[in-house]
């Protein structure tokens, strides 16, 4: 993994759309079924919109019915970091980009085999690239 990326709040605001900033830097979320990548079925790699790090492979994407792009695992180990999130009065596991610490979404233990995990990721935190 390349060196960590650190930017000021102003630098992030200038680099991202208001929606991307709200989600990635302020730990927001988009409404379900309103995003760009939930229905994308094309092969490729999903990258962090903030730093371009490869995060999730399209071959690991599945239709969870949640309204957000869902993956069974990151493309490689150590691409994302997990943190305990007790906001909104519940206990969840937040997923952030290892390289730039962008908020991506959450991971839940209700996904399909072989991992049993569902990485529920905001489309605004991602950019898709053809393989």
Residues with a catalytic annotation lie at 120
Measured in whole angstroms, the distance separating CA 64 from the mean position of its chain's CA atoms is 15
C-alpha span between 42 and 18 (Å, rounded):
27
Q: Can you list the positions of beta strands (E) in 44-102?
A: 45-48, 54-57, 61-62, 70-71, 80-85, 92-97
CB-based contacts of 8, cutoff 8 Å, min separation 6: none
Return left, alpha or beta for 58; rule: phi > 0 is left, psi -120 to 50 is alpha, else beta.
alpha
């Amino acid at each position: 993994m390349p060196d960590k990326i650190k930017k000021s709040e102003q630098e992030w605001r200038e680099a991202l759309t208001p929606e991307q900033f709200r989600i990635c830097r302020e730990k927001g979320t988009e409404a379900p079924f309103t995003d760009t990548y939930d229905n994308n079925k094309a092969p490729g790699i999903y990258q962090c919109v903030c730093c371009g790090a490869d995060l999730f492979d399209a071959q690991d994407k599945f239709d969870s019915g949640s309204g957000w792009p869902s993956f069974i695992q990151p493309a490689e180990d150590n691409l994302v970091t997990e943190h305990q999130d007790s906001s909104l009065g519940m206990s969840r596991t937040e997923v952030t980009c290892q390289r730039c610490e962008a908020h991506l979404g959450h991971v839940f233990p209700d996904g399909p085999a072989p991992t049993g995990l569902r990485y529920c990721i905001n489309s605004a935190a991602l950019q898709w690239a053809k393989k």
